[in-house]
Every structure is written in structure tokens, then in C-alpha cells.
Chain A
Amino acid sequence: MTRVLEVNSVKKHFGGVKAVDGVSFHVDEGEILGLIGPNGCGKSTLFNCILGQLTPTEGTVTLDGKPITGLYPAQLNRLGVSRTFQLLQVFPNLSVRENLILAGQEHKGTMLQRLFGPRDAGLTVDADRMIAFFKLEHLADQKAGGLSYGQQKLLDAAMAFMAGPRLVLLDEPAGGVNLTMLENLKERLQAINRELGATFVVIEHNMDFVMSLCSRVVVMAEGKVLAEGTPAAVRANPAVIEAYLGH
């Protein structure tokens, strides 16, 4: 199996605070890896280190064997690393379709080719396919800011897939989403994983969501990896129960 992402003893210290303190894990092609742990354990900081939002104090990150530590977010995205944020991040004044076209356009040609090329960067068909895939057809021309929270979450996730990414990092995709929408989101993520072979890393607090979506789970606590394994194994691990899941 191909290693897509490899995180090697990454540390991120803010002064004396060791937010991430030597974390190593890997993600294989086609895998959905869950990353869980109590609030403040360093999950999001680790994400930001992987995604170039922060530079790790120590350690390396590789994508398909090539080092990506310290690259800018836009560069990483063009290498095929896509993400969603913990807080909702769509462009409220663009329509749903425009949001999706934007999410894909920077992968099409050079800047000059985009300026003189087609207005939609040739992405209307792809965008509409993504809209249909996430069942947002009736909202395609609405401004994204006018959508319900759950619908915006779907759009947010859809945007992460527009460029056909190699690796997608989802930061709490289920936060604040109602149960029906949650099933919808999970089912769509699984379908993308199955059909496109996309590889995911998911940070999530909703245990049912994580346990039913992910094939493998990494548990973090206080900046370190506490446990790693299948959802069932992790769930039974006494250290994890003590630190996070509770009795």
C-alpha cells in the first residue's frame, strides 16, 4: 500500500507551551484516518503544521515521499492537499456554483491562461457534477451566505474535493450539523472515498461519526499520540477511555 502522508516526530512549541510534542503517524492511499483527542490536545495545531499554516518547530512531513514541510498553503493545495476548516469557511457573496469554480480554478493552467481562457475556467460541468453529488442542485445559483449551516458545511466539504485532491484534511466536518445532514455528509464522504480513491484525515469529536467513518484512528493527548488502531481497538483502550472517551 502506498504511503500518502507521513508525519515524522513533528513538534510545535509556542514559547514554553508544547502544543504538539513529537507526533508521528502515516496515512495510506484510500484510507480514512480519524484524529481524535480532547480539546486543546494539539489536533488543529498539527493540522496547521501539515498544511503550511504554521511551520513545525521540529520534524518533517512528506507527501508521497517528498518533503512538504514549510511550503505555503497555496503551494500545498496545488500539490493536491486540500482542507476544510473547523469554523465554516465558504465565500458568502459568491453563489454555490461560483464557490466551487473558485475551489478548482487555480489548478487550471497558468494565471495568464486563466485570464484569457474561459470565464468559468472550464469548470461549470465539474461544479455542477459536484453540486449534484452533494445534492445541492436547487441552491446552485444562491449566494452561499444564504444557505443553512448544514448546507454550507456540505458546500465547504464539496469545495475541498473540486480539484480532485490526493489528500483531504477535514477539521470537524460534523460540528453543528444536524443528524439527517450528518448521515448525508458521511455517506457522501464514503462515496467519494470509494469512487475517487481520495484519502482523508478527519478531526472529529462526534465519536459515532468517527467510528463509523474511519478505518483507523489516531488518538492524541497533550501533544502526543496516545493510541492508534482500529476504531474498536481504540475504543477498548483503557488509556483512551481515561484521557478522552470517559467511562
Chain B
Amino acid sequence: MSRKLNTDLLIILIAVPILWFAPSGLKSYGLYVVSLWLVMSIAAMGLNLTLGYAGLTSLAQGAFLGIGAYATAILTAKAGWPLPAAFLVSTGLSFLVGVVLGFPALRVKHHYLAFVTLAFSVVVFLVARNEQWLTGGVYGLANIPRPVLFGTDLGGGLAFYRTVLVVTLALTLVMWWLLHSPWGRAFQALRENPLRAASLGVDIRAYTLLAFAIGSAFGGAAGSLYAPLVEFIDPAPFALSASFVLLLTVVAGGAGSFFGPFVGAFFSYMLPELLRATGGWYLIIYAAVVLVLVMVSPTGLLGLIDRWRDHQSQRRAAAIRAAARPTLASADKPTLENQGAAP
């Protein structure tokens, strides 16, 4: 257990300096793509909590991305708020809406829950498209400002990318800390066996609502960075298909694995750009990769590594058992003491 915690933090420690310096040579389009990757990783991290850890199917993460993006766009472009304040409000708003959306999850599970969240996605999309006074309708909201912090302009491609990186790092650490708290354990219990969890005193209602709300808050936070990243938003990127792609992102990366969202988001948001050179072949290649992945490892890309690690630890356990066997056989009557003492 403790060994695994350190691996996660070690990966973060190594990745952050690389991600800080590596893109410095990229042009603005390249910087946009890596920034988008990080932003979508945040949204996928939230869905990974809801779906991967707590086992609640949601087709609404794209809608929460939209709620965060619109809230930030309205607060910064229309009301003139600074981005940090808009970020906190957007995240908090998504949290609250997430609590409300969590209530159906207390009654229905799996496909039925997916349908409920799907309906919610459609409603959010329709509000964004039809409530022109608030959202600008199909014309969207333009001139979303990039942040200026303590007199420093963070609006340049590289500076904004690094801002996104710092926020991503902070949210990744928050998620890590959350998942390794008793709450994280309770979320996993909720996924694996709610009936048994309840019999151990786990408050299923509270944890279900929290899993939804926290996952949604990450979606809102991602949206709040998405708006200044693209500087113009309209309803299209938050349509139902966005929720599907985010779901695919989490599953392809490995639902319930900590870095799965980053791997999945690379797959869903950066690979398309890298495959752009192949022209029309992109979708066919992408579909083929998804098919192979689902067949080879239904637990996602990082699931492959987990499976390998389980295999290793089972082999070690088998070796321990094999070493212990002669001790048992040599005793006339296996007693509790030598069973316990054998390994």
C-alpha cells in the first residue's frame, strides 16, 4: 500500500518539471493542444471518481464542463470578475448542481442512471442554446479574457499553459489526497458492494451524493479553464457527444486507476491532432485502437499494468505458499499455531 502511494507521487514529481519545460518550444497551436489535454484530464479525473471509484455511471460530465465554462465566461467577460474568483464560483456551482443530480443516483443504477444523466446533459445543452439573454445562444460568448495575476499577464500561450499546469497539479494532488482518505475507501466500497458497505456503517446516501458532487466540481473546474483557453464558447462543445467522449476517455485510460484520465485524455484529445497527418484515416485508426483495447484490456490502458502487477504479486504469494507446505505436511496434525506461523 505505502509503496504504491509513493509511486503515484513520484510520477507526479517527475512529470511536472517535464511538462513545465518541454512545451516551451511549441507554437501557439501546439500549446493549445497540450493545454486542452490537461483541461480535459481534469474533467476526466472528476468522472473517474464518480464512475471509476464510486461506480456511478454518468453521461453528464460534458454538461458540467459546459456549466463551468459558461459560468466563467459570464462572470469574467460580462461581469468583469477576475478568473480566480470565477474559477471558485464555477467549481462551487458545479458541486451544488452535482449534489442535485446525485439524488436520482440514490434510486437508480447503471443504465438507468446513465439515462437520467443523459437527459440532464440534453437539458443543459438546450439551456445554453436557447437562453440567449444569458448564454448568447448559438452565437456564444466571445472575448473571454485570459487571467492577469498580481500584475502578471498570464494570457500568452506558454504562460497560460503553465497556469493550467499549476491548477492541474493542485487538483491532481487534491484528488490523490481525497482518494487516500477514508472517503476514497468508502467510495470504492460503494462501487464494489453497496449492501455490504451499508452493513459496515457506510452512509450510502451521503457518499453517493458526494461522489457525484466532487466529480462534477472537477468537471466545472475544467470548464472554467476551458473558457479562457478557447476564448470563445458556444453550446456545441458541451453537447451530449462531449459526455460520451469523456466517458470513453475514462474507460480507455482505465476506470478507477489514478493516472487513467491523463492517459485517456491523451488518447481522446491529443491523438486526433497527432493523427491529423493521416488525413481521413484518423477515425478508422482511432476506432481500431479502441476496439483492440476493449478486447485486450477491458480495464483500460493502465489496467494492463495493474494486471501485470497483480500477476506478479500472485506469483510471489504462490511461492510463499509453496515454501510453507512442507512445514504443514511434516506436522502430524495441522494445528492453528503452525498454520499461522508457517509463512
Task: Name A's B-contacting residues (CB within 8 A).
Answer: 51, 53, 72-74, 77-78, 82-83, 85, 89-95, 97-98, 101-103, 105-108, 111, 114-117, 119-121, 135, 137-139, 141-143, 146, 159, 162-163, 180, 183-184, 187
Q: Provided the pairs A85-B196, A115-B181, A121-B182 are in contact, do residues A106 and B202 lie with their beta carbons within 8 angstroms?
A: yes
Q: Which of B63-71, B186-194, B286-294 contacts A (4 or more CB under 8 A)?
A: B186-194
User: Are B320 and A78 closer than 8 Å at their CB atoms?
Assistant: no
Q: In the complex where A95-B1, A137-B340 touch, is A114 in contact with B183 (Cβ < 8 A)?
A: yes
Q: Is B201 an interface residue (CB 8 A)?
A: yes
Q: In angstroms, how far is the closest chain B Cβ from the Cβ of A87?
A: 10
**Minimum distance in angstroms from A190 CB to a CB of chain B:** 12
State which of B185, B195, B200 has its C-beta within 8 Å of the C-beta of A98.
B185
Is the beta-carbon distance between A141 and B181 smaller than 8 angstroms? no
Pick from B188, B198, B340: contact of A135, CB below 8 A: B340
**Cβ-defined contact, B336 with A184, below 8 A:** yes
Chain B residues, CB < 8 A from A159? 200
| Option from B195, B201, B204, B320 in Cβ contact (under 8 Å) with A89 | B195
Q: How far apart sit A77 and B201, CA to CA, in the bound complex (Å)? A: 5
The chain B residue with its CB closest to the CB of A80 is B201
Interface residues on B, range: 20 to 34
Query: Closest CB-CB distance, B260 to chain A, in whole Å?
Result: 14
Contact A105 B199 (CB under 8 A): no
- Asked if B343 and A73 sit within 8 Å, CB to CB, the answer is no
In the complex, chain A residues whose CB is within 8 Å of the CB of B310: 143, 146
Q: Is A74 touching B1 in the complex (CB atoms < 8 A)?
A: no
Q: Is B111 part of the binding interface, using a Cβ–Cβ cutoff of 8 Å?
A: no
B206 at interface, CB cutoff 8 A = yes
Q: List 23 A-B contacts (CB under 8 A).
A: A74-B203, A77-B200, A85-B199, A91-B188, A91-B189, A91-B192, A94-B189, A95-B1, A97-B1, A98-B185, A101-B182, A102-B182, A102-B197, A105-B185, A108-B182, A111-B203, A135-B339, A137-B340, A139-B317, A141-B1, A143-B310, A146-B313, A184-B336
CA distance A90 to B317 in the complex (A): 19
Closest 8 pairs between A and B when the two form their complex, measured CB to CB: A106-B201, A138-B343, A77-B201, A135-B340, A89-B196, A114-B182, A73-B198, A105-B182
Tell me which residues across on chain A come within 8 A of B196, comparing CB atoms. Answer: 85, 89-91
Return chain A residues, CB-CB under 8 Å to B312.
Answer: none
Chain A: minimal CB distance from B131 (Å): 36
Measured in the bound complex, the distance between the Cα atoms of B197 and A114 in whole Å is 16
A-B contact count (CB 8 A): 110
Task: Report whether over half of chain B's contact residues are helix, strand or loop; otherwise say mixed.
Answer: helix
Q: A51-B199, A91-B196, A163-B201 are in contact. Are A102 and B189 (CB under 8 A)?
A: yes
B1 touches A101 (CB 8 A): no
Interface membership of B334, Cβ < 8 A? yes
* Among B1, B183, B342, residue most surrounded by chain A Cβ atoms (within 10 Å): B1
CA distance A103 to B196 in the complex (A): 10
Asked if A74 and B182 make an inter-chain contact with CB atoms under 8 angstroms apart, the answer reads no
CA distance A139 to B318 in the complex (A): 12
A residues within 8 A CB of B188? 91, 93-94
| Contact indicator B185/A102 (Cβ below 8 Å) | yes
Q: How far is the CA of A95 from the CA of B310 in the complex (A)?
A: 12
Say yes or no: A82 contacts B181, CB within 8 Å. Answer: no
Contacting B204 at CB < 8 Å: which of A74, A117, A187? Answer: A74
Q: Does B180 sit within 8 A of A, measured CB to CB?
A: yes
What residue of chain A has the Cβ atom nearest to residue B183's Cβ?
Answer: A115
Cβ contact within 8 Å between A106 and B186: yes
A119 pairs with B180, CB closer than 8 A = yes
For the complex formed, measure the closest distance between the CB of A215 and the CB atoms of chain B, giving whole angstroms: 23
Which chain B residues numbered 138 to 187 have a C-beta less than 8 Å away from chain A? 178, 180-183, 185-186
The minimal Cβ–Cβ distance linking B188 to chain A, given in whole angstroms, is 6
Cross-interface CB contact of B339 among A51, A72, A94, A184, cutoff 8 Å = A184
Which residue on chain A has the smallest CB distance to residue B342? A138
